[in-house]
Structures are given as structure tokens and as C-alpha cells.
Chain A
Amino acid sequence: MGRHVVIDGSAGVHVPSPISPVVQPRQTVLRERGQREVFCGLTGIVWLHRKIQDAFFLVVGSRTCAHLIQSAAGVMVFAEPRFATAIMEERDLAGLADANEELDRVVDELMARRPDIKMLFLVGSCPSEVIKLDLSRAAQRLSTRYAPTLKVINYSGSGIETTFTQGEDACLAALVSHAPQAAADAATSLLIVGALPDIVEDQFRRLFAELGIERVDVFPPRKSGDLPAIGPNTRFLLAQPFLGDATLKLEDRGAKRLPAIFPFGAEGTTAWLKAAADAFGVSAERFAEVTAPGRARAKRSLERSRGTLEGKSVFFFPDSQMEPSLARFLSQELGMRLAEVGSPYLNRDLVGGELDLLPESTVISEGQDVDKQLDRCRAGRPDLVICGLGLANPLESEGLTTKWSIELVFSPVHGFDQAGDLAALFARPLARQAQLRV
């Protein structure tokens, strides 16, 4: 038999029960409501616009929105970025009809400048949501006007509805309805969901090919024209834990999620690949054979950081919803102690498996009251604090060691061959502190 296993229809494919049991974490969850020191969903544009290479993201918002993206992206990273803001002005607030006309004018202006754009996202913001500017109607209107050269899609990245990575979730959820429908008798295919760095995506594709899983698509695609067909024979693996709404939309299309912990570290990546292997009937031997080299490389690369991280305590401020997964990686694979694992939101369906792997004594917090959380952090004096850019330097000046959480979203950290890099991201601040004599 050849190296590739051909899957015929859904024969031999194990489909997990569509209704995942709601996992109640064993740990105590501290739910907090107060000032949240987090980005809004617009921030996702910074990486999404690099991922989908012929898409443009137009925020319909205020000067604050434009300033946020510019500041989050680091001013002027890109010569001609594929994102911009339609800044609402006083007269746009007076009448919504005018706001729609104005939006059409701005899109015309944009398309005249960038005729190469094939997909335009109209991204809702706090002010556009509050004045109830209907961007879905605007997207339909503009899609008709620019058909067939341009597809116009809307989603909201507003801070009143989305926190940081939820912007990607909202974007992908909106994108699902534009994907073609796969035929009911289409061959079973695997869909990797979540914007991954291209190099990581290619690594996963190679692994799945070696496992004999032939039809593998990624979502979002690099080109807007390559949206994969989705249907009842689509099995999907989430590459990121924050894709709850996209999951629901995919399930609406009949696609079935393969529940798994997330591909961070040797263990996370193995478990994640295993979920697909099991669903596609890959034998245990083949799985072990294919994954052994990567798994060994991952484990070896973790050793470099182990000495720095093992036994040290880590405190997560809420940021990306990746916190339970990263905490599991640090605790399970590097022997770190978990002081507090904060997450803006715990989607128990998606991260339940991660929480199961955390020590029972772990303090898990959901939501935020930043001043109270800072009090807890200071009192506990953790060895390492994972937090946003607004908190990092103030905590450093108090003698704590920090790691900016945004880097964990922006860097290639998934999979076997990035496990060492992921560990190094956490080890570097501690190693630096040990090295500096200033």
C-alpha cells in the first residue's frame, strides 16, 4: 500500500458526537466585572490583512479606531497597508442616509486607488454599532455595485462586542457564509481554521499529507478566491481557541468540529494532529511513525528553555483567550507553576480540554477588574507576568518580569517546529533579567 491512505466518503471516519458535553472546570473560576485593559477586535486587522493577500479592511469608525490600529501595528509598518478607516464626522451622525452615501463614496475612492483588491471587509466599530449603521446592507449594496470583481463582507470588530482576538473570530464567521457549499457526497475533507503564519500552515499540510489525509484546506485562505467548499463532509480543526462564533457558523453549514486541545508544544500538537488522524482512520502505527520526528524535535527544543522556566510561577492577564492553552503548555511541558490564568472569556466547549489538564489548584479568572487583578499580581510576586502593552512597563518598573502577550498572537508559535520558539518567548524576559547588570 502506498504512503497515502485514501478516504472514501465518510467510511472509516470517526465522527465525534456533534454535541460536546459542556465541560465544567474543576478549578475555581473567578468571574470579574470592572475595567478591562484589553484591545478591541479591530486589532485583528493587523494580522488578518497580511494573511488574506487580496483583501482590504475598511473600518467604519472614528478617529480613535484609526489611531488604535496605527498604534497597535506600530506606526507605519507598511508602506501602503491594506487597511484604512472611514472616519465618521459630525454630519455622518446627523442622518444615516447620508452616512450610507458617504460610505459608498469612500469605497469608490478606495477602489479607484486599489483596483487590485478582490475582497473588501467593512468592519463595524463601537460608534458605527451605537448609531446602528447597517453594514450588512451596505455590504450587499456595494457587492452588487462592484460584482463580480469585488466581494464585500461585513463584520464587527467593535470593542463593545469583541475583545482582541474575537475580531478574527467575527471576521472568519462572516467569511464562512461566502464559502461555496460542498456537495453532500463530496469526499471528506479536513479544514484547518484560524489565521496561521504561512510557514506553519505549510508544515501542517506536510504532516497531514504524510498521514494520508489528502484533502486539506485552510481557512482563511491566502487568496480570497480560494475559499474552500464547506459541507457535511467537512471536518474541521481549530488552530486557535478563540474561534467560537466561526465554529457555530461552520457547524451551521454541516461541518463537524474535531475536538482537541490546541497545537502548542509537543503534547498539544500531538493531540491536535491525533484528533484529525483518528477522524480520518489513520492507524496508530502510521501516526506514531509520521509524528515521531517532529515530536522529538519539539521536545528537544523545549530543553533549551526548561532550565529558565521550570519551577517558576507565571501570571496571565486576560488578553487573547489563548491563556488556558498557553498555561497548559507551560505547566505540562515546561514545569511552570500557574499563579493565575486570566482570560477575557472562557469558551468551555473549546478550551475545556485544556482546563482539564491544568492543576486543580490553578486560579482561573474570567473577565477583568484590572486594578484588583494588579493587586493580586503584586501580592503574589510571580516570576513572570504575561500582560498587554499598557501594563508591561509599569509592572517592570515595580520589579516584576513581563512578557507582552501580543507577541504570542503575532509570532509563529503553533506546531512541533515552533514549540521551542514559543518556550523561548517566555524564557527570554527571564534570561534577559538574569543577564543584565543595570
Chain B
Amino acid sequence: MLHDLSIGALADRLAARELSSVELTRHFLARIERLNPGLNAVITVTAQQALADAARADARLAAGERGSLLGIPLIHKDIFCTDGVRTSCGSRMLDNFVAPYDATVVAKLKAAGVVMLGKANMDEFAMGSSNETSFYGPVRNPWDTTKVPGGSSGGSAAASAARLAPFTTGTDTGGSIRQPAALTGITGVKPTYGRVSRYGMIAFASSLDQAGVLAQSAADAAAVLKVMAGFDPKDSTSVDAPVPDYPALLEAPLVGLKIGLLREFFDGLEPRNAKLIRDALAVFTSLGAETVEVSLPHLPMSVPTYYVVAPAECSSNLSRFDGVRYGYRCESPKDLTDLYERSRGEGFGAEVKRRIMTGTYVLSAGYFDAYYLKAQRVRRLITDEFRAAFEKVDLVAGPTTPTPAFPIGAKIDDPVTMYLNDIYTIGANLAGLPGVSAPCGFVDGLPVGLQLIGPHFAEARLLSAAHQFQLATDWHTRRPRGYE
């Protein structure tokens, strides 16, 4: 079936003119129509525009043009601004917001000839680890629709896992690509901070946010990342460094690669999950890699550090939603303060308000030093420990999540328990490091993810390691029942 093919295989068929982008687009639109009602992964379908984009891609192909993504469909997380298409960020606040421009990520992929099928559901303003905070309702995990798909890129992950598109985009502030990728059995890549432009990506925590990709394999992700990455003068934190040819570097052998096992990542990990991770690492050693244990003593502090830094930045970033220039406005405000307070109070959901208030508290007079500056200092300790580890090893490995997907409703009323889902992923965000999650087995029929974290700008090394693992295993080819 078309949805079983890799991006490379689809591009070959399109190039050989055995398949048209319009046919491919119709195939995925039909899957969305049939399968999305059971998942709620896609909240806006742009069928007409997709078919027009596909026809344009076909014309480019007919004229002899070739490209790794030319004519390939995708679904964007609804955090990326898409010119002329509603960009809700999963919030009532932006339910009526039609983006007036494209995010750089969207523009770059558009220029490469991708076809946007629609926009994916997500936790409101990317704040959540279960995709239950969305204004549009929870997303269901295709492996078990009573379970969450993870978050915040839960719609993107479920859509990729159910093959509603060959790949999807996502963003990762504390694990929001890697955690849902792990819980839905797909491959997720969070690049180095600054590698991919944040322009037009609705801001949550600006020193942590990074865009990435959720795909069927590391090879597919490499093809997409090559197009997404690169310097953007419109993002003041974008890094001006050449983009490696990730697909060409996938075949790097694992012989001699030193992988650090993060001791702190195995503390308290459920034995069945721990076994799958150790089995996966045995695959790496059988391919010639070496494993050594490394310890980052301050890593357990990454969750409290994050829950000061991220809410502080969110409190500042979300102050722009004022009910005046765009977004939700309350009915008949009695004065300007009432307009601000009720527009924001009614427009934002419970978790977003909780994070804004946490951030406002830690930044307020009298608490700034004790919380915000303190967290920034601990952030440096964690970052320094990662740097020291990368003097001894080429990358570090461990689980992506403490458990497989949990039931919808199980943790939503207990924020601290929910926050601890990201215990293994947050460290990479605090230190700005790239990370990959790749499927490495199942517990009770639910996928488990292996996480690899590398030094800054080591995306090629991470992708090739994940690719070599995927050549030796077939976890990434498993399909959820009913979505074959």
C-alpha cells in the first residue's frame, strides 16, 4: 500500500511518473476521512488546497524537476503559522485565527514541493504531555484508543503512526516530539536548539522550543530535516551553520561509536521497559558500538528546573494574547482591564492558565532570585554535566519515557505527576541538545521508545545510529491494528 512506503520510495515513484502527487494526496485524504474520526489527530483538513498543491507538484515533476520531498504530503502541527489557514495552537484563544503568513518551516517545506493535507491536534499552546489539554478534545493513540498518544505533538504522532500522512511536523520544548513518538511507535527527532527556525512557530518557552519531525523511520526523518534545517535571519536565535546532507550520512558505521548509558535514566524504570532498552543497546554493541555507563548527578533536577524556566518564559510569551489585536475577545467588557482579564481567562484552558500563573509567580518581586535565577543556575549545572559526558562518549542513550502510553484521564487532574512523564526528555531541552526517539519494542502491546541524545549539532550521528538500529530491527515497521 502507498502508506507503507518510505519517503524515498514515494519520491522514486513520483520521479518515475508511476504515481502522481494528486493520486498520493487523494490516498492520504481518504485515510484521514476514514480513520481520523476515531483518533481526533487532525483538526483542520485542507483538502482543496492539498489537491491544488499536488497538481502544482505534478507539473514540476512533469517539467523534469526532482526533489526529495517534491509531491510528498505532510500534516503540520497546528503551532506552525500557515498563510490563509486557521492556526489554533490547540486553543480557544486562536480558534478564529487565520495566520497571515507562513512559518519559515512551512515556507521551506512548501518551496520543496510538499503538499499540506491539514493541521494536527496538539496540547493547548504545546503545554501538556498527553494531548488532553487541547480545546479540540483529546487525541487517541492508534495502538489503543483508550490511551493517550503523548504530547504535546500528540496529533502529529498519532497521524504519523496511523499513516494519515508520510510524515508530520512537531515541536519539542520538554519532550513534545520524542515522548509522543515513543508512545505511538514512530521515530521522532528534536534537533539542536537553533538548528531549525522558530519564526512563525507560536512561542511557548523561547529558550527551549525547537521544531522537528515525526516520521516512519530515521531515514525518512533525515530527508525531512535536511529541508527544514538552516539559518533564518528572521529568528534571532537561529544558528548560521551549514546543514549537513543527513540522508547521505546515514550509512556511517557504528564500529567504535561510544554510547553512554545514563545511569539516572534507569533508576526506578519499570523492569520490562528497562529490558527493552538494554536489548536495544545490545543491538548497538553487536554492530560494533561500545557502551559505558555515565552519570549526570544533577539530571534528576531537570524537571523542577524546567517547571520554573518554561512557565516563566510562557508567562512572558503569552502576554501578547490580549483580546485586542487577534484571538478571542470576551463579550461586552466593562473596561480595558476586564477585557484583558476575561478574554484571557475565557480564551485559555486550565493548564495554560496554570503555567502562566506559575511563571508569573516565579518572576514576581521577591521570588525571582529564589526560583528563576536558581533554576537558571541549575540549568547550567545540568548542561555542564552533559558537556563533560560528551568528552567521554559520542552519544548517550536511555528510555524516552518512564512508561508506555497511559489511559486517557489517568493523570490530567494531577499536574506534578503529569510533568514527571517528561523526566527523561527535558534534560536535552535545557542543554539545547538534539535527541531522537526510535521504537525498540512493546510492553503489553504498547510501543516503547529508545532515546539517543547527542552533542550540539550531532543530528547526523543520531540519525545514522538510529538508522543502523532500524536496519537491524523491524520495530519501526510495526503497524497498529486497524491502521494497516
Bind each other: no
